[in-house]
Protein backbone atom coordinates (compact mmCIF):
# COMPACT_ATOMS: atom_id res chain seq x y z
CA UNK A 1 0.00 0.00 0.00
CA UNK A 2 1.29 3.35 -1.00
CA UNK A 3 1.36 6.45 1.15
CA UNK A 4 0.36 9.74 -0.43
CA UNK A 5 0.96 13.26 0.79
CA UNK A 6 -2.40 13.36 2.54
CA UNK A 7 -1.57 10.27 4.61
CA UNK A 8 1.88 11.67 5.42
CA UNK A 9 0.24 14.90 6.60
CA UNK A 10 -2.21 12.95 8.76
CA UNK A 11 0.54 10.79 10.32
CA UNK A 12 2.69 13.83 11.10
CA UNK A 13 -0.31 15.44 12.75
CA UNK A 14 -1.03 12.31 14.82
CA UNK A 15 2.63 12.19 15.89
CA UNK A 16 2.49 15.92 16.78
CA UNK A 17 5.47 16.74 14.59
CA UNK A 18 5.21 19.80 12.37
CA UNK A 19 6.15 19.01 8.78
CA UNK A 20 6.16 21.81 6.20
CA UNK A 21 3.92 21.27 3.16
CA UNK A 22 6.95 21.36 0.88
CA UNK A 23 8.56 18.48 2.81
CA UNK A 24 5.57 16.15 2.56
CA UNK A 25 6.38 14.54 -0.81
CA UNK A 26 9.88 13.51 0.36
CA UNK A 27 8.44 12.21 3.63
CA UNK A 28 5.81 10.16 1.82
CA UNK A 29 8.55 8.68 -0.36
CA UNK A 30 10.60 7.66 2.71
CA UNK A 31 7.56 6.07 4.30
CA UNK A 32 6.97 4.11 1.13
CA UNK A 33 10.56 2.81 1.12
CA UNK A 34 10.28 1.66 4.73
CA UNK A 35 6.78 0.21 4.36
CA UNK A 36 7.84 -1.54 1.17
CA UNK A 37 10.52 -3.27 3.21
CA UNK A 38 8.03 -4.16 5.94
CA UNK A 39 5.58 -5.61 3.39
CA UNK A 40 7.75 -8.76 3.29
CA UNK A 41 6.01 -9.82 6.48
CA UNK A 42 3.00 -10.62 4.31
CA UNK A 43 4.85 -13.72 3.05
CA UNK A 44 4.92 -15.34 6.48
CA UNK A 45 2.22 -17.83 7.41
CA UNK A 46 1.13 -16.81 10.90
CA UNK A 47 -2.03 -18.91 11.04
CA UNK A 48 -2.65 -19.90 14.66
CA UNK A 49 0.41 -18.01 15.96
CA UNK A 50 -0.07 -15.84 19.03
CA UNK A 51 1.37 -12.30 18.93
CA UNK A 52 4.21 -11.97 21.40
CA UNK A 53 3.38 -10.07 24.56
CA UNK A 54 6.43 -10.87 26.66
CA UNK A 55 9.76 -12.07 25.33
CA UNK A 56 10.64 -13.95 28.51
CA UNK A 57 7.96 -16.01 30.20
CA UNK A 58 7.45 -13.89 33.29
CA UNK A 59 4.51 -12.92 35.39
CA UNK A 60 4.51 -9.25 36.16
CA UNK A 61 5.31 -8.64 39.79
CA UNK A 62 2.68 -7.24 42.09
CA UNK A 63 2.99 -5.04 45.11
CA UNK A 64 0.71 -3.40 47.59
CA UNK A 65 -1.15 -0.46 46.11
CA UNK A 66 0.47 2.15 48.33
CA UNK A 67 2.47 5.31 47.76
CA UNK A 68 6.20 4.48 47.66
CA UNK A 69 7.61 7.81 46.62
CA UNK A 70 6.62 11.44 46.35
CA UNK A 71 6.49 14.71 48.22
CA UNK A 72 9.19 16.31 46.08
CA UNK A 73 7.46 18.85 43.84
CA UNK A 74 10.63 20.88 43.43
CA UNK A 75 12.60 17.95 42.08
CA UNK A 76 9.73 17.05 39.76
CA UNK A 77 9.50 20.58 38.38
CA UNK A 78 13.21 21.33 38.28
CA UNK A 79 13.59 20.49 34.57
CA UNK A 80 10.36 22.07 33.36
CA UNK A 81 10.70 24.73 30.65
CA UNK A 82 8.02 26.73 32.48
CA UNK A 83 6.84 26.05 36.02
CA UNK A 84 4.85 28.36 38.26
CA UNK A 85 3.59 28.03 41.81
CA UNK A 86 4.21 24.31 41.97
CA UNK A 87 2.67 23.53 38.57
CA UNK A 88 3.82 22.89 34.99
CA UNK A 89 2.77 25.90 32.93
CA UNK A 90 1.49 25.58 29.34
CA UNK A 91 -0.16 27.92 26.83
CA UNK A 92 -3.82 28.60 27.48
CA UNK A 93 -5.90 25.48 26.69
CA UNK A 94 -9.41 26.66 27.59
CA UNK A 95 -10.67 30.04 26.42
Q: Answer yes or no whether residue 50 interacts with other proteins by CB under 8 A.
A: yes
Residue choice 65, 81, 85, 86 for contact with other proteins (CB under 8 A): 81
Other Cβ atoms within 10 Å of 95 Cβ, number? 3
DSSP string, 43-82: GS--TTPPPPS-SS--PPP---SS--S---HHHHHTT-SS
Residue choice 17, 21, 22, 65 for contact with other proteins (CB under 8 A): 17
Q: Answer yes or no whether residue 28 interacts with other proteins by CB under 8 A.
A: no
Footprint of other proteins (CB under 8 A): 3, 7-8, 11-19, 27, 30-31, 33-35, 37-44, 46, 49-56, 58, 60-61, 63, 72, 75-76, 78-82, 88, 90-93
Amino acid sequence: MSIDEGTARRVARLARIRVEETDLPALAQEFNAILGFIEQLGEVDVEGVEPMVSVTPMRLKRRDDVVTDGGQPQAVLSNAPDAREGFFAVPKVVE
